[in-house]
Amino acid sequence: MSEVTAIDAGEPRPRKAFFRLPGAGQALNKGLVVMYLGLMVLLPIVAITSKAFENGISGFIDAVTAPQAVAALELTVICSLIVVVINAIMGTMIAWVLVRDKFPGQKIVNSVIDLPFALPTIVASLILLTIYGADSPLGIHLAFTKPAIVVALLFVTLPFVVRAVQPLLLSLDRDMEAAAESLGARKWLIFRRIIFPNLAPGIATGIALAFARALGEFGSLVLVSGNIPFQTEVASVYIRGQIEFDRLASASAVSVVLLAVSLALLFCVTLAQRWGLRHDR
């Protein structure tokens, strides 16, 4: 007994010394993190931006205002926006059903949600081509049309809103709804005034992630969209085309535009979230 106590008492000392980082160690840690992020995130952004402006500002403007580039960017942004709106509604509904309803096979459905995200995108494209292509078993011939792009993007971005809303819904205090009802509120009013404001930060996160993913999506579109210039050619496919023609500066310029749109949206969502969560500070 006394031996055990002696060992127990003696052990924490070296451990403490290991975990208690001196000031210098913390500075080193911070430095390491900053350097890592710099190398992994900042450097590529700087590199692509400088490449985009290789031929000066006029070169950049020429590249991004080329009719085919404008068409591709427009198509990408519009499709992504449509996808995000549908996702916000359907994702919230799916999360709701998964959390609040009980039905047989619920667990299976819950685990299937991530599949479109986890699937290799080219496989996704092939699946979509099989379903909506010329030999469609459903008789729906969407392949090589704009709706096909929207459907493919919906497929790969399905989990984002669901997974962002689910935990919020789980931790939502059900008594709040009961309290609102006891004060005279009907179901829809309870959703609008009590439930939705508490889910909004999750919906916003899901939207941001889905939009970012949709903007840059390549693999799942490359087969099913048909890549017809001015019609079904999305930005990522256009960029790939430019690279194939060895127009690296032009590819970089369009990439920078995508990057800017992504960052702008992330910024807006962060602002919206901070406003939505003002009561938590």
Partner 1 sequence: MTAAKNHTEVENGIEVIDVSKQFGDFEALKDVNLSVPDGSMTALLGPSGSGKSTLLRAIAGLENPSQGKIFISGEDQTGKPVRSRNVGFVFQHYAAFKHMTVFENIAFGPKVRKWPKQKIKDRVNELIELVQLNGLGKRYPSQLSGGQRQRMALARALAVEPTVLLLDEPFGALDAKVRKDLRTWLRRLHDEVHVTTIFVTHDQEEAMDIAEQIVVMNEGQIEQTGSATELYDEPVNDFVMGFVGEVNSIGGRLVRPHDTQVFPNEVEDSTRVEVDRIVRLGFSGRIEMLTDPDKREIWAQLTRSELETLNLEPGSPAWVKPAPDAVTREDTGALEAAVTAESPATDKPTPSMPGLPV
Q: For binding to partner 1 (CB under 8 A), which residues are involved?
A: 173, 175-176, 178-186, 189, 193-194, 197-198, 276, 278-281
Nearer to partner 1, 81 or 185 (CB): 185
- Report in angstroms how near the CB of residue 267 gets to partner 1 at its nearest: 23
Question: Which residue number, 178 or 243, has a Cβ lying nearer to partner 1?
Answer: 178
DSSP output for 162-188:
HHHHHHHHHHS-HHHHHHHHHTT--HH
Task: Give me the amino acid identity at 157.
Answer: T
Nearest distance in Å: CB 65, partner 1: 44
Considering the complex, what minimum distance in angstroms separates the CB of residue 176 from partner 1? Answer: 5
Whether 163 and 113 have beta carbons less than 8 Å apart is answered as yes
The distance of closest approach from Cβ of residue 72 to partner 1 in the complex, given in angstroms and rounded to an integer, is 41
Please state the closest distance from residue 186 (CB atom) to partner 1, in A: 7
Q: What distance, in Å, lies between the first and last C-alpha atoms of the chain?
A: 50
User: What Å distances lie between residue 27 and 23, 39, 251, CA to CA?
Assistant: 6, 18, 39
Select 14 or 184, whichever has its Cβ closest to partner 1.
184
Residue number, 135 or 173, with CB nearest to partner 1 = 173
Closer CB to partner 1, 136 or 198, in the complex: 198
Would you call 211 exposed, middle or buried from its count of C-beta atoms within 10 A (0-12, 13-18, 19+)?
Answer: buried
Nearest in space to 259 (alpha carbons), one of 80, 68, 49: 49
